[in-house]
Amino acid sequence: MLWFLLRRTFLGALVLWLITMGVFALFFVTPNNVARSLAGRQATPETIQLVEARLGLDQPIWKQYLDFVRNALHGDLGYDYYHQQPVTEIIVAALPITVSLAVGAAVLWMLLGVTNGVISAVRSGSFADRALTTFALFFYSMPTFLLGLLLLYFLYFQLTLSGYPFFPPGGYVPFTDDPYEWTRHMVLPWVTLALVLAATYTRLTRGSMLDVLGEDYIRTARSKGLRESRVVVVHGLRSALTPVVTQFGIDLGQLVGGVVVTETVFSMPGLGKTAIDAINRQDLPVILGIVLFASAAVVVANILVDLAYAMLDPRVRLH
Amino acid sequence: MTDPPPTEVHDEPSAAPEHESRREPAITARSPWVLAGRRLLRDRVAIVCLVVIVLIVLLAVFAPLVASITGHGPNQQYRDTGLSPDGLPRAPSGEFWLGTDSLGRDILVRIAYGARISLLVGVVATALTVTIGVVVGLAAGYLGGVVDTILARVIDVVLSVPFLLVAIALVSIFGAGLLNTVLVIGAFSWASMARIVRGQVLSLREREFVEAARSMGASSARIMFVDILPNVLAQVIVYTTLLIPVVIVVQATLSFLGLGLPAPTADWGGMISEAQNYYTTSWWFVLFPGLALLATTLAFNLFGDGVRDAFDPRAEGLTRGWKG
Amino acid sequence: MSLLEVRNLAVAFPTPDGVVRAVRGVSLSLNQGRTLAVVGESGSGKSVATQTLTGLTRGAKVEGEAWFEDTELLTASDRTLRQIRGARIGMIFQDPLSSLHPYYTVGWQIVEMIRAHDRTTSRTAARERAAELLGRVGIPHAQERIRDFPHQFSGGMRQRVMIAMAMALDPALLVADEPTTALDVTVQAQVLSVMRDLQDEFGTAIILITHDLGVVAQIADEVAVMYAGSVMEMASRRQLFYEPHHPYTEGLLASLPTAGNGRKRLVPIAGNPPSLIAPPPGCPFAPRCPHAFAHCWEEAPPLRAVYGDTAHQSACWLPTDVAGRQAARDRLRTATGGVQ
């Protein structure tokens, strides 16, 4: 167990290191004109050089990289080019928004996806199965931004027009400021994300349940005279959940690193939106910081998934 | 959002004892390809979807014809006829069948031209993804040893990269364009494919027919591509059909975020992005490009589902399959 | 009055390729404390028939009657069947590894069984009982091992766990579906003797489904030989081994290795069982039968008492008396030059 954690932490660190190298190479080797745009339109070459020196862009690439790694190891991801704000602070400020979005949506999509998947599998071949499968595939095919816009159109615009201004057009209010407003602003983004992702879980749960329900131990459970609901949930779902939990960990890990599209559509200044803005401004330290953080989230999620796997399945030994 | 849903592959070798199965009709040897093809033809939903896909392909191919029938070029701005006096898009009419956009361009014609971009990127980027994925997966799974260790690590790295963020960043650095979009999607989507193929190859590697080929002195490359590849092809095909709509959505998403093709080229994601600010006044502006996009991805996904069921009828119901 | 009386059981499954008639008119009867072996190749319908009795086949069209302890099983409600399953009819299956849930301890699985039928038993009492049962079927250190998972047991031990679970509520009938097929020969004998001992102790009736005549020889009282969904021959164990009537039974016996006939070649039955989707009109065994004559292809033979013994029945058109049957055997031997 300890050995597993050490090994995986080491491998995870290796992966992150490779990612920083790759990202660094891509962003810093390619010509950019950050200094020029920062210095302003009428800047002389001298001014531009001054700006470059201040940002450390005049240093050799390898030195910039070593500095970055050294600082990163001390928890310092540098400062943004425009306001000299520490990147770690930017991430810490944006993270609660992304986490609220991801976790709330996760609860919704798990409820929706797993329930529908189980019903689909148990009633396999029935009308309910067809309807739920089609429903799932419909939202699976729906681009997130399109669903977001549709929800905005109907639930914000049309509803407000009809005199029920319940949903705001976007934005974010911290939970600590006003829990009600927080919820009000989160509902549409939650639903958007949940519907798009629930489809995967419906299909995954359905397939996994169908496999499991054909297992011999399900027949044994029935032969014991258990109630069908108990057979399905305690014996069936318990096993079918393993691949679902794996997918859940991976998805959640990815989302915590930034919910790019949903945050953009609903103008929520989470990690994803912050990253997009930074990309548009070529604010390299911020991009690098968020990409690194997002990758770390995925790496950590993968380790947690394997731990969960071992907890769920007594046959699995961590090594 | 870069992966199609996992195709219910279980890692554990499930013990399948030889017990009496419920249906044991006399099974004559038929090629699995023929069987799959026959099942697919019986699947009405899949056939309808195939027809929709063909229609969209025709729309793309004959986009210039659409332009000449309506008499509107894809990038031509009709500031007099196509915009209302206060400069807003015009609703669908006899002149503009699906209405106009904020610059007074014909939405129908732009959808037809946009289909070219979506399909082209969808097919080419998928082909690139699948090629890289299959080659890496075959090499890692068959060659094993150091090669496998390194490739498996690379797969891990690529799967840990926040795809959309990096894709957006890359496109913004190298410039938005067809080639860059395809390359970026291909560069970051192959890992799941590689992982699936690697898993399959690992289990095939020790089988007799591979042993036989090896004992006859076949080269590694020959064994990989001639002996093993055909056996993983069904999985690859299923995955490929499910990957195309994903790629189309990724391309549209990049466009939506402002990283599509440079204006004035028509593409669906970009059109929806432009329509964002007009959804309160001009419903057709966002609706029709959105419908085109949704119809395409839905058709591909439903068709892909049919292909999967055709190759793996186990995915059907336990006793009777409604698609059967 | 017998414990289980099955009359004309027929089970059919609709499939995309046609209706599979898995069981075609099977009648069986079993008395308390006796062991009935149902023998046949895979696909002969033996598992389907018994699983249908307890309501475990789904999506099937079922006909006939099956009386068990004053309950008609085929028309019983799901609730009634559920109460019978486990409590009155225990079941064990071929592969104990895949038949036990991999995620739960064996103790938990036995406790679940007990408490599903008897809510008044406390968890602690049920656990006590589980340990006692495991000890009874010969699992050492039962008290500790109830906390182990199935994969931590050997194949034979796992099957003992299954037996312990099936016998937990002292059922009147134990249905054992190929219980020893997945096990080593030595372990097979141990598992069978555990079943025998429990049967002697509790007076349980056993239906043993197997394709292995060696197993039949060890444990059965009566034997039903099934082929293509029908019973071909029904006899006491002794009758079946020493005076078989049906050519299919003879074929099975000829393909059985026995001590002492090491020189003689084992003779497999040529050909394959017929399709159950559109079975031929006559005797299902006719295509593979060395004795088959014109009438066999036209009309399926009913079960008839043979050798003047009502308990011995055979579905074959060959003469029912000893001399006539022997004459047919001799004719065949001369015709084929003594091979069979």
Q: In Å, what is the CA distance from A83 to each residue of A94, A286, B245?
A: 16, 11, 41
| Neighbour-count burial for B64-102, b at 16+ CB within 10 Å, e otherwise | eebbeebebbbeebbeeebbeeeeebbebeeebbbbbbb
Predicted pLDDT of residue B90: 82
Q: In angstroms, rounded to a whole number, what is the distance separating the alpha carbons of residues A12 and B157?
A: 9
Instruction: Kindly state the DSSP code that residue B262 receives in the 8-state scheme.
Output: P
Q: In Å, what is the CA distance from A92 to each residue of A190, B86, B181?
A: 21, 45, 31
Instruction: Give the mean model confidence (pLDDT) for residues A27-55.
Output: 71
Using the beta-carbon criterion (under 8 Å), do C22 and B26 form an inter-chain contact? no
Residues paired with B89 in a beta bridge: B83
Cα four-point dihedral sign B290, B292, B295, B296: negative
Q: What is the dihedral of CA C26, C29, C35, C36, to 10 degrees?
A: -20
Per residue in C26-70, pLDDT (tens digit) is 999 999 999 999 998 887 888 889 889 988 887 788 999 999 998
Residue A225 within any structural domain of the chain: yes
Structure tokens at A112: 């929706």
Q: Identify whether the C-beta of residue B91 lies closer than 8 Å to the C-beta of residue B144.
A: no
Which one of B17, B20, B321 has the shortest CB-CB distance to C43? B20
Of C289, C288, C248, C293, residue with least CA distance to C271: C288
Using the beta-carbon criterion (under 8 Å), do A223 and C56 form an inter-chain contact? yes
Strand residues in C98-239 grouped as ranges (E): 173-177, 205-210, 222-227, 230-236
Query: Which CATH number goes with the domain that contains A243?
Result: 1.10.3720.10
Using the beta-carbon criterion (under 8 Å), do C15 and B15 form an inter-chain contact? no
Cα four-point dihedral sign A20, A26, A27, A30: positive
Best probe of the C interface among A216, A223, A233, by most C CBs < 10 A, is A223
Predicted pLDDT of residue B112: 92
Residues paired with C13 in a beta bridge: C20
C222-227/C230-236 β-pairing: antiparallel
Q: In angstroms, rounded to a whole number, what is the distance separating the alpha carbons of residues A305 and A300?
A: 9
Using the beta-carbon criterion (under 8 Å), do C57 and B22 form an inter-chain contact? yes
pLDDT band at residue B18 under the 50/70/90 scheme = very low
Give B238→chain C minimum CA distance, Å: 23
pLDDT band at residue C1 under the 50/70/90 scheme = low
Please give the radius of gyration of chain B, using alpha carbons only, rounded to the nearest integer.
24
Of C188, C179, C211, residue with least CA distance to C46: C211
Q: Do A292 and A182 share a structural domain?
A: yes
Q: Do A49 and A21 share a structural domain?
A: yes
Instruction: Kindly state the DSSP code that residue C180 receives in the 8-state scheme.
Output: T
Per residue in B242-252, pLDDT (tens digit) is 899 999 999 99
Per residue in B142-197, pLDDT (tens digit) is 888 899 999 988 888 888 888 888 888 888 778 778 888 899 889 888 988 898 88
Q: In angstroms, rounded to a whole number, what is the distance separating the alpha carbons of residues C45 and C21?
A: 9
Q: How many CB atoms lie within 10 A of CB A29?
A: 10
pLDDT higher than threshold 60 for residue A267: yes
Q: Identify whether the C-beta of residue A61 lies closer than 8 Å to the C-beta of residue A77.
A: no
| Neighbour-count burial for A176-199, b at 16+ CB within 10 Å, e otherwise | eeeeeebeebbbbbbbbbbbbbbb
Q: How many CB atoms lie within 10 A of CB C1?
A: 9
Chains that touch B (3 or more CB pairs under 8 A): A, C
ipTM above 0.90, yes or no: no
Predicted pLDDT of residue B317: 31
Q: Identify whether the C-beta of residue B142 lies closer than 8 Å to the C-beta of residue B201.
A: yes
Q: Do A140 and A62 share a structural domain?
A: no
Domain boundaries, chain C: 97-168
Please give the radius of gyration of chain A, using alpha carbons only, rounded to the nearest integer.
24
Q: Do A237 and A147 share a structural domain?
A: yes
Instruction: Kindly state the DSSP code that residue B286 receives in the 8-state scheme.
Output: H
Instruction: Give the mean model confidence (pLDDT) for residues A57-61.
Output: 75
Q: In angstroms, rounded to a whole number, what is the distance separating the alpha carbons of residues B308 and B285?
A: 35
Residue A319 within any structural domain of the chain: no
Residue A176 within any structural domain of the chain: yes
What is the C-alpha end-to-end distance of chain B, expressed in Å? 31
Cis peptide before B17 (omega within 30 of 0): no
Q: Do A165 and A48 share a structural domain?
A: no
Q: Do A53 and A134 share a structural domain?
A: no
Of C169, C145, C157, residue with least CA distance to C91: C169
Q: Do A138 and A10 share a structural domain?
A: no
Q: Identify whether the C-beta of residue A226 lies closer than 8 Å to the C-beta of residue A233.
A: no
Q: Identify whether the C-beta of residue C325 lies closer than 8 Å to the C-beta of residue C308.
A: no
Residues paired with C89 in a beta bridge: C85, C173
Amino acid at B291: L
Best probe of the A interface among C99, C148, C162, C170, by most A CBs < 10 A, is C99
Using the beta-carbon criterion (under 8 Å), do C56 and A220 form an inter-chain contact? no
Q: DSSP states of B72-83 as a string?
A: --TT---TTTSB
User: Chain C residues with CB inside 8 Å of B21's CB?
Assistant: 43
- Helices (H) then strands (E): counts for chain C: 13, 12
B298 touches chain A (CB under 8 A): yes
pLDDT higher than threshold 80 for residue A48: no
Q: Please, what are the domains in chain B?
A: 33-319 (1.10.3720.10)
Per residue in C214-245, pLDDT (tens digit) is 889 889 999 999 998 999 999 999 999 999 99
Q: Do A160 and A56 share a structural domain?
A: no
Q: Identify whether the C-beta of residue B77 lies closer than 8 Å to the C-beta of residue B105.
A: yes
Q: How far, in whole angstroms, is CA C321 from its chain's centroid?
A: 28
Of A309, A207, A291, A290, residue with least CA distance to A250: A309
Which one of C59, C272, C274 has the shortest CB-CB distance to B319? C59
Predicted pLDDT of residue C20: 86
Residue A238 within any structural domain of the chain: yes
Cis peptide before A285 (omega within 30 of 0): no
Query: B54 exposed, middle or buried (CB, 10 Å; 0-12, 13-18, 19+)?
Result: exposed
Predicted pLDDT of residue A31: 62
Residue A215 within any structural domain of the chain: yes
Q: Do A102 and A17 share a structural domain?
A: no
Residue A85 within any structural domain of the chain: no
Per residue in A91-143, pLDDT (tens digit) is 999 999 999 999 999 999 999 999 999 999 999 888 999 899 888 889 989 99
Predicted pLDDT of residue B224: 80
Give B212→chain A minimum CA distance, Å: 33
Which one of C14, C93, C95 has the shortest CB-CB distance to B15? C95
Last residue of one domain, picked from the residues A74, A104, A134: A74
Of C9, C161, C8, C12, residue with least CA distance to C99: C161
Mean model confidence pLDDT for chain C: 88
pLDDT higher than threshold 60 for residue C260: no
Which one of A146, A280, A294 has the shortest CB-CB distance to B162? A294
Give A225→chain C minimum CA distance, Å: 4
Q: Do A150 and A45 share a structural domain?
A: no
pLDDT higher than threshold 70 for residue A35: no
pLDDT higher than threshold 50 for residue C9: yes
Predicted pLDDT of residue A41: 66
Q: How many CB atoms lie within 10 A of CB C72?
A: 12
Containing structural domain, residue A118: 92-314
B17 touches chain A (CB under 8 A): yes
User: How many residue pairs bridge chain A and chain C with CB atoms within 8 Å of each other?
Assistant: 71
Structure tokens at B132: 């890289």
Q: In angstroms, rounded to a whole number, what is the distance separating the alpha carbons of residues C320 and C245?
A: 8
pLDDT above 90 coverage of chain A, percent: 42
Q: Which residues 139-168 of B have a C-beta within 8 angstroms of A?
A: 153, 156-157, 159-162, 164-166, 168
Q: DSSP states of A73-94 as a string?
A: HTT---B-TTT--BHHHHHHHH
Per residue in C154-190, pLDDT (tens digit) is 988 999 999 999 999 999 999 999 998 888 888 888 9
Q: Identify whether the C-beta of residue A249 lies closer than 8 Å to the C-beta of residue A302.
A: yes
Please give the radius of gyration of chain C, using alpha carbons only, rounded to the nearest integer.
21
Instruction: Give the mean model confidence (pLDDT) for residues B95-100.
Output: 81
Q: What is the dihedral of CA C234, C235, C237, C241, to 10 degrees?
A: -90
- More confidently predicted of B285 and C258: B285
The full length of chain A comes to 319
Overall number of domains in chain A: 2
Structure tokens at C67: 């009386």
C173-177/C89-92 β-pairing: parallel
Angle ∠(C147,C150,C151) on CA atoms, nearest 5:
115
Instruction: Give the mean model confidence (pLDDT) for residues A275-283.
Output: 87
Q: Do A206 and A119 share a structural domain?
A: yes
Predicted pLDDT of residue A39: 67
Residue A83 within any structural domain of the chain: no
pLDDT band at residue C89 under the 50/70/90 scheme = very high
User: Chain C residues with CB inside 8 Å of B24's CB?
Assistant: 20, 42-43, 276
**A312, closest residue in chain C (CA to CA):** C103
Q: Return the half-sphere exposure (C-beta side, CA atoms, 13 A cut-off) of residue B165.
A: 33
pLDDT band at residue B6 under the 50/70/90 scheme = very low
Q: In angstroms, rounded to a whole number, what is the distance separating the alpha carbons of residues C101 and C143?
A: 20
pLDDT higher than threshold 90 for residue C5: yes
C18 touches chain B (CB under 8 A): yes
pLDDT higher than threshold 80 for residue A223: yes
Give the containing element (helix H, strand E) for C257: none
Q: In angstroms, rounded to a whole number, what is the distance separating the alpha carbons of residues B69 and C142?
A: 84
Mean model confidence pLDDT for chain A: 87
